[in-house]
Structure 1
Amino acid sequence: MTTCRLCGSESLASVVDLGATPPCELFLTAEQLDLPETAYPLHLRVCTGCLLAQIPPLITPEDTFTEYAYFSSYSTSWVEHARRFVAERDLAPDAFVVEVASNDGYLLQHVVARGIRCLGIEPSANVGRAAREKGVPTLTAFLTPETGAAVRAEHGPADLVVANNVYAHIPDVVGFTEGLRALVADDGLVSVEVQHLLTLMELNQYDTIYHEHFQYYTVASAQRALAGGGLRLVDVELLPTHGGSIRLWARPYGEPGPRVDDVLAREKAAGLHELSGYADFAARVAKVRRDLLRFLVEAADAGKTVVGYGAPGKGNTLLNHCGVRPDLLAYTVDRNPYKHGRFTPGARIPILAPERIAEDRPDYVLVLPWNLRDELVEQLSYVREWGGRLVFPIPSLEVVP
């Protein structure tokens, strides 16, 4: 990659190079284990001009999202997060709500329950089908300016457009933003939730760097991206989701509120509005890798059993970067039946049903979706019954008593 996808600058500085890995959601069937896998470089850089952190667009959204392994509704805490979001919105009975990347209807199901007109725009046919089975109207499509204009022409302008955990997934960030602008009414609101680069850097959350995520936002860089597509950032909220996210509120017209200035000041104090703030991240990532490998090797040498919990995309970045294979992590489990009997990309760790943990009573359970810590500590409390312990690899290795 030689040019910034936002401002066109040809000056990009390295932040961290994670080697080469397969796409993180391409879980393997048993029949595919003897076939080659394609791995792509995973190298995060930051533009020296606009400071957008980004990776090269080596795979397309069509490669990833036409058939997708992630179903949002398998996270109870995420569904509750969506329910609260809808409950807190002052929506008129005749309002129209559109969600982009609506997945399996995890959020819009709560809009439907209120009797409010809505539409999901979801590119993955399999998860969009699950949404329609819940009674959530869903269009199978990627958002482009043309898609946005067509939806507006058919259904009218949206009073609220929601885009959760998708703004990092689109390499054409300006075109996608233009699509959001095409959907929303002139006096409507756009809500965008995306992981905050500030917490990613501060808490060593490097496993959220993977090929589906093309860019990583500060509020400053998100403000520039929104403006490039015709939207004005008017407010921001700091959220605990995904280890630390930002909810960006944008309008076609408006000025930034005081919370925007507050978060911009925090980012500036952390050094993220200049190149120096990114200088030591690679060294901190290397320490996370060494600490996890040391723990797994020592556990194996001591005859202890270690299994995983969860098979999220972020877990595959971690496993591949650390070189973890089944000799160090016997298997992992996941609540999503789609993944059962499959194997993680690259590392080829078997994925089983969650009940397997209680059957095998391992000494340690390595929690890969660390961002769901509170939810999973409660779900996995039974591990203590036989003296098992949970292990969290990020922000630093922690073995929970």
Structure 2
Amino acid sequence: MHTIIKKCRSCQYEHLEPILNLGETCFGGLLSEDQDEDTMTAPLVLVFCPHCSLVQINATMPREILLLHDSAYYFPSSPAKLNYFREIAQRIIACRRLSANSLVIETAGKEGYALQSFVEKGIQTIGIVPDAAAAKTAMRRGINTLNTFFSRQLAETLRDRGKRADIFIANNLPAVPDLNDTVDGLKTILKNDGLAVVEVPYLLGMIDNNQFDMICHQRLSYFTATSLDRLFRRHGLYLNHLEQTALHGGSLRVFVEPIENVQESVRIRLDFENGRGINTMQPYAEFADNVQRVRRSLKTVLLDLKESGQRIVGYGAGARATTLLNYCGIDQAILDYIVDMNPLKQGHFMCGSHLPVYSPNKLVEDMPGYVVILALNYANEIIHQQQTYYLRGGEFIIPVPSPSIINEDEIYAILSQKRMNTGEKNRPLPLPVQSPG
């Protein structure tokens, strides 16, 4: 069901170097209905391209399988993420002076929340959403939606119909099997004075925080500003400005245009990455060593708690949980069960570890001693949600960057936040001035 790439997804270089082998792993996030049954598996191997510096996995699952996952467990975005989308939309509207004659296109935007603020201002929008359930939700909310994948061919069709984008929003680049086709499509659909806003999890954030659980079959590419810059330039596009945000535990939001107008934010980041050695194997070899240490340490912490009579469960039944549990060998001998907010996952079993999935309500009813947070990108929201569990004596464990029990000061700092995980603490810089057409 999978193919192994022989060339870099970006530059087609043939001599890819292995970084980390996470083993034969269940396809992230797919659950089974039978406790003794596993869903499909594929190798999960991270590799490095020394030619363009792109880090990627070498197995590609069919897009139909990706859609199966999205459709089977479709669940609306969290409030924190909705606020996040609204904030960037409002900034774009103000700084780019969009009007009713403007067109904003978003690809793979799920239920269209990133476009909602544009619609409310009377701005034309098109959402390109492969997942049928999410597309229907977007259409019910008044978003003009195409239920298909974005590609160069689709971009050419839209262009020929007079639909070219003033703003193009893409947050799914890591999941794209054919990067060059997608970026070609972006170049085709964008007006000469248009702007593409692309957000990706930041590779340096992943390796600095030992977040190997972010590696999964759905996320094919892992970007730095350097690898993005090289990809876009190959297609006549220019990474002119960038920001770091808090999404996914640390992301890059890049602003890309057909006209070169590179700002200081990009030059500083490229110099920083070069100084970090991201064009060499060194930081990735260190990451692999750190991941192996985390695996040993996490297993030791959990086994010690188990041997002392404590009961432990996990929170989060997504792809990150699948990667972490499978690589670390954590199963029913260590965890009692998993809880997850998505009702479509409840009543199923984790692939590989065979752990049953229940509603988070079970935590207060059952009161296990410890909860391992497996959905780290929602850690703050989970702690807010489970205040009663904590106040009754429950404890939370964070597995990375190093396994630790969250202390009281950290808990109360999180609970005192008025807004969770939306990036407001690292206020982004202003949008770039529109390049002359």
**CA distance in 1: counterparts of 2:364 and 2:40, whole angstroms:** 35
- Which structure 2 residue ranges, 5 or more long, are not aligned? 408-437
Partner of 1:178: 184
Question: 1:291 Cα shift?
Answer: 1.6
Counterpart residue number, 1:261: 267
Count residues with an aligned counterpart: 398
CA deviations 1:150-190 (Å, max 9, x no partner) are 233346111111011x1110121000111122222111100
SS in 2 for 1:274: coil
Task: Give the partner amino acid of 1:81.
Answer: Y
Corresponding position of 2:158: 151
**1:13 matched residue in structure 2:** 17
Please, which of 68, 85, 90 is the counterpart of residue 82 of structure 1?
Answer: 85
Query: Which secondary structure does the structure 2 equivalent of 1:49 belong to?
Result: coil
Counterpart residue number, 2:27: 23
Match of 2:313 among 304, 307, 311: 307
Code of the aligned partner of 2:43: P
Q: What CA distance in whole angstroms lies between the structure 1 residues aligned with 2:390 and 2:283?
A: 41
| Match of residue 54 from structure 2 | 52
Label 1:354 to 1:112 Cα distance change in 2 as closer, same or farther (>3 A).
farther
Specify the SS of the correspondent of 1:119.
strand
Q: Report the Cα distance in structure 1 between the residues aligned to 2:131 and 2:257, rounded to whole angstroms.
A: 27
Residues 304 and 363 in structure 1, CA contact (< 8 A), matched pair in contact too: yes
| Corresponding residue SS for 2:31 | coil
SS of 2:303's equivalent in the other structure is helix
**Alignment partner of 1:349: what SS?**
coil
Residue 34 of structure 1: CA displacement? Answer: 4.5
RMSD of the alignment, in Å? 1.7
The 2-side partners of 1:318 and 1:181 are apart by 37
Q: Partner of 1:25: helix, strand, or coil?
A: coil
Give TM-score scaled by structure 1 length.
0.94
**Among 135, 141, 157, which residue is 2:142 paired with?**
135
Three-state SS of the structure 2 residue aligned to 1:141 is: coil
The one-letter amino acid of 1:4's match is C
Residue equivalent to 2:119: 112
Q: Distance in 2 between matches of 1:73 and 1:270?
A: 37
What is the alpha-carbon distance in structure 1 between the residues aligned to residue 187 and residue 170 of structure 2? Answer: 12
Provide, for residues 206-262 of structure 1, a one-character-per-residue CA deviation record: whole Å limited to 9, x for no partner.
111111111111100011112233321111111111111101110122232110011
- 1:96 alignment counterpart: 103
The equivalences for 1:2-401 within 5 A come to: 2-30=6-34, 33-66=35-68, 68=70, 69=72, 71=74, 73-89=76-92, 90=94, 91-154=98-161, 156-164=163-171, 166-401=172-407
Identity across matched positions, percent: 33
* Preserved contact between residue 30 and residue 69 of structure 2 (Cα < 8 Å): no
* Larger relative contact order, structure 1 or 2 (CA cutoff 8 Å, min sep 6): 2
CA contact 2:57–2:220 (8 Å) conserved in 1: yes
CA separation in 1, counterparts of 2:391 and 2:266?
A: 47
Counterpart AA for 1:9? Y
Task: Tell me how far apart the structure 2 counterparts of residues 332 and 120 of structure 1 sit (CA, whole Å).
Answer: 34
2:81 corresponds to which letter in structure 1?
W
1:85 aligned counterpart, secondary structure = helix
Alpha-carbon distance in 1 for matches of 2:50, 2:260: 28
The alpha-carbon deviation at position 71 of structure 1 amounts to 4.5
- 2: CA distance between counterparts of 1:44 and 1:238? 23
Q: TM-score, normalised by structure 2?
A: 0.87
What amino acid is the match of 1:228?
R
Instruction: Summarize the Cα distance change of 1:353–1:221 in structure 2 as closer, same or farther, 3 Å threshold.
Output: same
Deviates more, 1:55-64 or 1:215-224: 55-64
Q: Measure, in 1, the Cα distance between the counterparts of 2:315 and 2:406.
A: 14
Residues 260-310 of structure 1 show CA distances to partners (whole Å, capped at 9, x for unaligned) of: 011112212222122222221111001111121112212221221111222
CA–CA separation in structure 2 for the residues paired with 1:334 and 1:118: 33
Letter in 2 for 1:133: R
Bigger shift: residues 386-395 or 49-58? 49-58
Deviation at 1:197? 0.8
2:103·2:125 contact (CA, 8 Å) conserved in 1? yes
1:67 is displaced (CA, Å) by 5.1
**Matches of 1:303 and 1:155, distance apart in 2:** 67
* Paired AA for residue 64 in structure 1: L
Letter in 2 for 1:339: K
* Bigger Cα displacement from structure 2, 273-282 vs 195-204: 273-282
Residues of 1 paired with 2:363 and 2:386: CA distance? 9
Which consecutive unaligned segments of at least 5 residues does structure 1 have? none
CA spacing shift, 1:135–1:353, aligned 2, 3 Å:
farther
